[in-house]
Each structure stands twice: as structure tokens, then as C-alpha cells.
Structure 1
């Protein structure tokens, strides 16, 4: 199966689930996403430690490879990944503005959010880099497959990949919500019921078009991930790293 075919198949699920009307309908998805993230982190960390301590552990080199240009783009990619990871702090920030005291609730929400992220994100990053060195790939699960034979049992790899797939669906739904809110602001009629045909039909059309457009671009461009990483590094870093903490001051 080609990559573009997998992208198209995957996009059908967010295309259907993206029709959820607001953040409030995502509270259960957020909980499931958290549990999936914890399960994935535990599996990957345990797998990396197991491989690193096994007699067939791969050779580890912790030096930086590649040309200067590759290192620069790799740095942007890393910044984008970190910024996207910490972007979940936006959600408690929004929720904290609902009722006073805003400052206290926002700070507690951000601290809890970042605490979970540090436990999951850094456990995977540190254990993966320790086990594979500079041969660590963008997705550490790719390293688990080995050059010829899988380094871990097949059932373990399948379970971890399922966690990843479900987590990607949950993340996609969360990041589609600002687009949903924007379309509701532009095309919805506040005087009519939220679930009336007048409000549901524009949401269905424009949300579907946005998902289809993103899927088409991702399928056409083999370097779509690198482009998103570059723009994400510039777009997400100020929003996630500075604006939140300034708002708590």
C-alpha cells in the first residue's frame, strides 16, 4: 500500500467525526486521548528499554549526522514537534477563562497539562534516543521493526500501532475544532437551533471540504510533513510557549 492511499483511508474517519459541533462534545475524546497517550508512552518506553538492554541491541552513536542544511531543518522539525506537543495547554487556558479566578485556574491547568506531557513526551524521547542514538527515526516505532526482523513481538508492535492510530484520530478531531468554530461564526444563524438544517448543512459542507483539501495536499506532497513542521515551528511556538505564561502574570 502506498502512503497516499493510507492517508486517504485514514482521512475518512476524521471526515465523519469532524462534524461534532463544539469543544464540549470532545470532553470524552480528550479523556480517551489522554489514556491512549499514556498507553503508547508506556509501551514505547518499555520497548526501548527492552531493546537497549537485550543482547541484540543496535549500535548506538550519539553524534549528529547530516549536512548543515539538514541540521537546520531538523531543528525546525524538533521545535515544531515540541510546540505541537505543548499546544494542549491551550485547552485548559480556554476553560480557565470561563469562571473566576482566571489566573489560579489557568496556572493549575497548565501545570497539570505540562506535567502529563513531560511524563509521556520525554520518557519516549529519552528512552528512544538512549536505545538507538542518532539512528532514531521520526517515529520510534520504525526502529522497532529492525532492518530484517522485528526487535519486539508482533502482538506488541500491533498493539502500540493501534494506540498510535487512535491517538492520531483524537488529535485530528481536537485540532479541527477551531476550524469548526470559525465556520459556525461565518455561516451559522444564531437565531435558529444549532441542529437545524440551516446550521448543520453549511457545517457539513465546509468542514468536509476543509478535510478533503488537507487530505489532497498531504497525499500530493511527499514532503508535506516537513512543510507543516516549518510553519508549525513559527506558528505554534509563540502561541504555546509565550502567550500562555504571559496571560498568567
Structure 2
């Protein structure tokens, strides 16, 4: 109860009346998404994550805003909104969570001066924080973009280590497709290049590109609090429901 009260207090303090409204919306959305049925798997509940701490990484932050949409949407802010909602939904089901950041800041050391130094320090510190948490499971939240075209859309889940993370990545991709975008044909995939955080953590880890900021329609959705909550509920569903065995 104290843990739940703490979560409610943090939300209330950050968003006043919106905090309570978002909390209730998250609960309602999660119940709908996690209801057993042909399109969404049966919810296993907190037992699915027993002994595991879900580390929620809202990508970028502070001077490093990440991608920016043509309309001016800054990725770091969207990442944080989804991360906060995911923390709330998982908390409603009793899961242990850690947010790497709870505000729009970089996690760099004070001695870092240039933007390059700050970004490098920020990433090293994120790795250290994840590695210090026993039995961690990392979900890193980001937004995609494609320079020169606004036609690409849809969430996609990536992983670095296939053995520990590919099944969860595929499961999460399927939940996102079923719950939010049935026409999305993207598949979970191994990261095509080096991503420092994902390459240096030793726990199971997935990186979720929730949508394309370069697509005007999806950009508008990603700015919408209700859609952010649906994204968070879908991600929670993926984490709280059994991951299908390979070939199942």
C-alpha cells in the first residue's frame, strides 16, 4: 500500500489533477488491453515479473532532445511521458520498477562540459545504474524519424542480444501491433548499429521506437496523452503476460 501511495503521490505532485486522471485512465486502458481474448494474451500479473525489476529508460533528456518532428515535437519529452505512464501502469499490478529519469534532464557527470562529453557521460551513467540493479529487465523508450519522407510509420522493437532479449522483443512487437496498429507489418529486429546503452548492459533489454515523429499523423498521436497511455498499457501488457516459446 505504501508503495502504491508513493506512486500516486509522485504522479499527483508532477501533474496535479492530471495526475489522478492519467492514473485512472491508465488503469482502465490496462484492464481493456490485458483482458484475455483472441487479440491480446492472458495477463499473468506480477508473478510474471517476480524477482525482476523493470528499468524504464526514457531516452535522451536535457540538452540532448533526440529527434525533432517538423512540427517541433521533441523526442525526449514524449519518451518521458510514456515512461512515466508505463511506471504507473506496472505499479498498479505490483511490479517493481526503476525510472532512470523522471524529468527532462541529462544524467551526465558535473565535469562534462561539451554536448558530446555530456552525452557520453549520460550513457555511461545509465549503463552503471542498470548494471547496479539485480535481476533487471531494461525497456528503453524512443521515437523514430526518417529524414526526407513522412510516409513511414509504426512502432518497432529492437534488441541487441538475441539469446536474452529476442523473444521478449517479438512478443512486445506483436502486442503493440494487436493493441494499437493492426496494419503495422514491422517485425522485431536486432539493432542495425551500435547503441551504447543496449550494447553495454548485461540484462535482458529491448528498445522500443514507439512511432515516427517524421510522420505528421503519428506525430500528433504521440503528443496525445490518451495515446501515450495506450502505448504504456500495451508495453505493460507485453511485460506482464507470458512470452510465447519459440515456434509456438
User: TM > 0.5 between the two?
Assistant: no
Q: Which has the higher helix share?
A: 1
TM-score scaled by structure 1? Answer: 0.28
Q: Which has the higher strand share?
A: 2
- Greater Rg, structure 1 or structure 2? 1
Give the structure, 1 or 2, with the largest relative contact order (CA under 8 Å, sep 6 or more). Answer: 1
